[in-house]
Amino acid sequence: MATFDRSYGYIVVRVVYDGPSGAGKTANLKQLVQTFSAQRRGALSSPRQVDETTAYFDWLSLNGGVVGGYPLRAQLVTTPGRDALSRRRWHLVEQADVIVFVTESTPAALKVARRSLELLRVRLSRSSLGPPIIVQANKQDAPGALSTEAIADALGLPPGAEVVPAQTSDGIGVRETVVRAIRCAAALADRDVVARGVDALDDTEDEHDLLGRLDGSTMLRAAVEHGDLPALPDEDADGRDVWPERSGRAVLRALARGFAAGAFVPSSTSPDAVSLRASGFFVTSSRVAADAGRDELRARARALIRLGALSTSTTLAIARAPGAWSWLWAITPCASTLEERLDAACTGDDEARLTEALEAYARALAAALALAVRDDVGLDVAPARFGEVDGRVVYLSDRLTAPSVAAVAEAARAIPARCARWPAAVDAYRAALDATLARRGPLLARARAEVLAGIAGPHPSRELAS
């Protein structure tokens, strides 16, 4: 649907170049930069390219023509061709006034293109006003290239459908394609303006607005309380910037959908850190020096590995920002913290639920003590740092501290005073901590005695009493 740039008085249409990876979508726009003078066009931009491939879109604007008495501007946008980035592709094609579907001309390439075109048609069939599609047969100079008639047949196009032959490496067919697309979009826009009037058109967005909708930063910016918006983790990031890489990319795709849909709730924000819940994950970010980002990611990954059974399925990702800083993101499946469970049970005067939460915390303290004594690994042992997933106590942070038996003992001692109104729950907590530590073996005997000494109640265990 055409839009109206109220600042400059342009009717604006969007032509989206779609097609398989490597078909020549970006090449079309690069040739158009050479074809049109700087007075007729804007600059070509490709936000966050990865290894010179399109990660979000390529963008070029062209001025020319008149619609309803207003000057016309065409936004030319390409889709990313890789299947892993299909979410971005669908968002872009659904916003198109006209689609240019670019395909290579060889039989092997056309098999891939036909599948891509069929998926496109299915996606557009959800709307009763799907945009027209112009097919460009690129790389006509390739060995074994088919004629445009044979290409139309291979793609399953209806009889009489036009295919524009092209050879983008030499600029052949590039101008012809864009002129046909813009004329088609202009005709639709003219009809819309006549029917509804220019005041009924939506405001135009630029490439920054589009990127903000695709990566979710527009939604996040509205929610963050300070002006320094963190760079967001990208599902298409370099493999060295994601850990673990394979499962991490799936997590980043789910997170990206949540950001783009605004499905997140900020927990806390500051210029150097952001915490939020999104798409079933608890997400934290911290600012790190750009040249130290990967070292910090590897250090955090090693820390998570050292947690052993307490570890969660945490994903770490580096998001690079312009300048001297990057952002390190930690994405962990959401789980109620033991602090939240303790607080809810105490507030609701629910001793049964309090007992369950305290027994889980006892297991957490025992595991933390074992890591401190056996593996020289220290944890923040506050109840807010632990949760329970499928009956298993997990550490909900990737931060390690100096190992300290005294810190575990101090945390253990705080519980009886906090929960003194529910003596049965406190007795169950003492018994669970005693039994769990006993199962950890003789290596923890001295540390176990130190921890239990501070919480000994009216019924200490025989072993402790002796």
Q: What is the pLDDT of residue 132?
A: 93
Q: Which of 287, 283, 286, 293 is nearest to 331 (CA)?
A: 283
**21 conformational bin, left if phi > 0, alpha if psi -120 to 50, beta if neither:** beta
Domain residues of the chain, as ranges?
3-211, 224-333, 338-465
Residues in CB range of 375: below 8 A, 6 or more apart: 306, 308
Q: Which CATH superfamily is domain 3-211 in?
A: P-loop containing nucleotide triphosphate hydrolases (3.40.50.300)
pLDDT of residue 462: 36
Indicate the burial class of 316 (C-beta count within 10 angstroms; 0-12, 13-18, 19 or more). Answer: buried
CA 456 to chain centre: 48
E strands present in 120-272: 133-138, 163-165, 202-203, 242-243, 264-270
Q: Please tell me the distance from the alpha carbon of residue 305 to that of residue 285, in angstroms, as a whole number.
A: 20
Alpha carbon distances (Å) from 464 to 324, 356, 446, 447, 454: 56, 24, 11, 12, 12
Q: Which helix (H) or strand (E) holds 289?
A: strand 281-289
The first and second tokens of residue 144, run together, are: 């074994």
Q: How far is CA 336 from CA 274, 281, 399, in A?
A: 19, 11, 18
DSSP assignment string, 292-326:
GHHHHHHHHHHHHHHTGGG----EEEEEE-SSSEE
| Residue 47, C-beta contacts closer than 8 angstroms, at least 6 positions apart | 55, 56, 57, 59, 207, 211
- pLDDT tens string, the chain, 466 residues long: the values are 899 999 999 999 999 999 999 999 999 999 999 999 999 999 999 887 766 778 889 999 999 899 999 999 999 999 988 776 788 898 899 999 999 999 999 999 999 999 999 999 998 888 777 899 999 999 999 999 999 999 999 999 988 888 999 999 999 999 999 999 999 999 999 999 999 999 999 999 988 888 877 777 666 666 655 556 677 787 777 889 999 988 898 898 888 877 777 667 777 767 777 788 887 888 888 888 988 999 999 988 988 888 888 988 889 999 887 777 888 999 988 888 999 999 999 999 999 999 999 999 999 999 999 999 988 999 999 999 999 888 899 998 877 889 999 999 999 999 999 999 999 999 999 999 999 999 888 888 888 888 888 786 544 443 333 3
Assign 3-class secondary structure to 129-168.
Answer: CCCCEEEEEECCCCCCCCCHHHHHHHCCCCCCCCEEECEH
Greatest extent of the chain over all pairs of C-alpha atoms, in Å? 97
The gap between the terminal CA atoms of the chain, to the nearest Å, is: 82
Long-range pairs, 300-306, Cβ under 8 A, ≥24:
300/243, 300/328, 300/330, 300/398, 301/243, 301/244, 303/398, 303/399, 303/400, 304/398, 306/371, 306/375, 306/377, 306/400
Residue 129: CB atoms within 10 A of its CB come to 7
Which residue do the tokens 């007075």 mark?
Answer: 39
Q: Are 61 and 10 spatial neighbours (Cβ–Cβ below 8 Å)?
A: no
Q: Which residues pair with 3 in a beta bridge?
A: 12, 202
pLDDT attached to residue 100: 97
Residue 100 CA to residue 56 CA, distance in Å, equals: 17
